[in-house]
A and B are shown apart, each in its own frame.
Chain A
Amino acid sequence: MDGLIAGAIYSLTASGMSLVYATNRFWHLAHGAVLLSAAYALYGLYSLLGLNFYLSSILTVITAMVLGLAMYIFLYRPLRRRRAGNLIMLIASAGVLLFFEGFAQILFGSDVKTLEFIEVQAGINVGGVLVTPLQLIIIACSVVLLLVFWIFIKLSPTGKKLRAVADNVELARLTGINTDRFQALSFVIASAIAGCAAILIALERNVEPRMGVNFALVSFTSSVVGGIGSMPGSILGSYLIGFAENVTLWVIPSGYKEAIPFVVLFLFLVFRQNGILGVEKGMRE
């Protein structure tokens, strides 16, 4: 059950990172910083300022979107215009991620924050497993969000243009698609989903400075394990890693939990380089 919850949350952040990778061709590790900031925004608005929870949630998602867009406009785009390679983008992104972690520590301290919005409730017995209503809400939210996102990408005209940009940026530009706008849009969409994820995480777990780095690394691993640039793949990868993390708890100490995603990544890199749904390279040429 915990594996399912973990998978539901990871799939939200991983699909966003995967979308940004598909349209921009670099790993946006600072996606974790968006998540971190959104979680603290919620904590600040709700717990410190005492705003209504639902209003705080909406403001949190907006904060995430603005931050994601700002990163694209003020960090990635200037770097790209100076012809920065993918490695430089990755390092810049990691830098931003660490900066936000440090910044959150300075502002809020390194201790764990809780929202205390929902009181601890007795679990309900569903088919022999204990779940809290909140956990059911998390899974439902995750599935609905990703479904809406997937339909949008597959069927809407905007989604089709996004896929065209992801497929071949140069050709999309020649076809008269404003590629810059769609690359920015992918940051906004990914960040909005990260904002929603931040709310769910804040409710189910806690808010702490380390979460940005943790989720960034897990999302990256999930995307690679699922198949680079494939949206359904990154979702499958997330659930796989969520399960792996929790199932192994039975046999090895919980301190090793954070190492599990990398063990999975390592196994995939050795035995199945293209990930679960990754296509053979030659097929796309």
Chain B
Amino acid sequence: MLKISNLNAGYADLPVLKDVSLELQSGTVSIIMGPNGAGKSTLLRSIFNLTNITSGQIWFEGVEITGWPAHQLLELGVAYVAQGKINFGTLSVRDNLLLGAHHLKNRTEVTNRLTTVYQQFPVLLEKERQLAFALSGGEQQMLAIGRALMSSPQLLLMDEPSLGLSPKLVKEVFEKIREIRDTFKTTVLIVEHNIKSLMDIADYGYVMVQGEIVAYDYCSLLKNSVIMKQVFVGKLE
């Protein structure tokens, strides 16, 4: 459903990605792993046109989306959960969620989606009138995911969802990602450091080193492979 072919991209004069190609299967969870500075986040950001793409194409469901602006991607069904400040802190939880579907005209549809998101994340319903900055780290992440779900994405891109969370919360967030894949049949592409726990729920893994994809396979096969040891334990030839 998402196909990237020979993508070269980076920032201004700094090329990061070198001839990256990948293809995602519909309804699967894939992880991009790799050491710091490998270009994992850059790859996600390139899909959302936040980098300078020098060559290559990105296709989504047979449509070329290279360099599309965010609002068009959203209408097409691609949503992105960034890292860092991921919510509008001075707006209420409810308004944060509603902004995820701001492009929809149909009000009943928006209300339906809001109900679905609240079913998925009951804690957000409890706190819907609070300002988003008052939420805990885990709730913040849930809110950001919830806002992304408000656009009913077919493809969900996530940048380091476990950042700053305790191990217990990380598990909860990952569990939610698995649920989202199973209930909404959403395809998920995650950049993650915390690969050990994520590999149990993900379907495919891509290993990136210095801007190139050096290996990809089923997570179950990748888990004990030689390449993983080489990349993550050392001895990279």
Task: Indicate the member of A167, A173, A283 with the most B CB atoms within 10 Å.
Answer: A167
- Name the interface size band of chain A: 20 to 34
Would you call A171 and B71 a contact (CB within 8 A)? no
Residue from B85, B89, B99 within 8 A of A175 (CB atoms): B99
Q: Give complex CA distance A166, B89 in Å.
A: 10
Q: Give complex CA distance A278, B80 in Å.
A: 31
* Given A167-B90, A284-B90, A284-B133, A177 and B85 contact (CB-CB distance below 8 Å): no
Residues 168-181 of chain A, each 1 if its beta carbon lies under 8 Å from chain B, else 0:
10111111111000
Residue from A166, A170, A176 within 8 A of B74 (CB atoms): A176
> How many chain B residues have a CB neighbour from A under 8 Å?
24
Q: Which of B81-137 contact A (CB under 8 A)?
A: 82, 85-91, 95, 98-100, 102-103, 133
* Given A160-B99, A177-B99, A283-B133, A167 and B70 contact (CB-CB distance below 8 Å): no
A77 contact set on B, CB distance < 8 A: none
Q: Which of A140-197 contact B (CB under 8 A)?
A: 157, 160-161, 163-164, 166-168, 170-178
Would you call A174 and B82 a contact (CB within 8 A)? yes
B48 contact set on A, CB distance < 8 A: 174
Q: Give complex CA distance A166, B88 in Å.
A: 9
Residue from A164, A166, A178, A283 within 8 A of B99 (CB atoms): A164
Would you call B88 and A176 a contact (CB within 8 A)? no
Name B's interface SS: loop
Q: Say yes or no: is B181 at the interface (Cβ < 8 Å to chain A).
A: no
Would you call B82 and A176 a contact (CB within 8 A)? no
Q: Give complex CA distance A79, B95 in Å.
A: 32
Q: Say yes or no: is A119 at the interface (Cβ < 8 Å to chain B).
A: no
A-B contact count (CB 8 A): 61
Q: Say yes or no: is B73 at the interface (Cβ < 8 Å to chain A).
A: yes
Would you call B80 and A174 a contact (CB within 8 A)? yes
A178 contact set on B, CB distance < 8 A: 71
| Closest Cβ–Cβ distance, residue B45 to chain A (whole Å) | 10
Q: Which of B16-35 contact A (CB under 8 A)?
A: none
Would you call B73 and A176 a contact (CB within 8 A)? yes
Q: Which of B144-198 contact A (CB under 8 A)?
A: 147, 151
A166 contact set on B, CB distance < 8 A: 90
Pairs A–B under 8 Å by Cβ, sample size 27: A157-B102, A160-B98, A161-B99, A161-B102, A163-B88, A163-B91, A164-B99, A166-B90, A167-B90, A167-B91, A168-B87, A171-B82, A171-B88, A174-B80, A174-B82, A175-B100, A176-B70, A176-B71, A176-B73, A176-B74, A176-B75, A176-B102, A177-B99, A178-B71, A284-B90, A284-B133, A285-B85
Which residues of A are interface residues toward B (Cβ below 8 A)?
157, 160-161, 163-164, 166-168, 170-178, 283-285
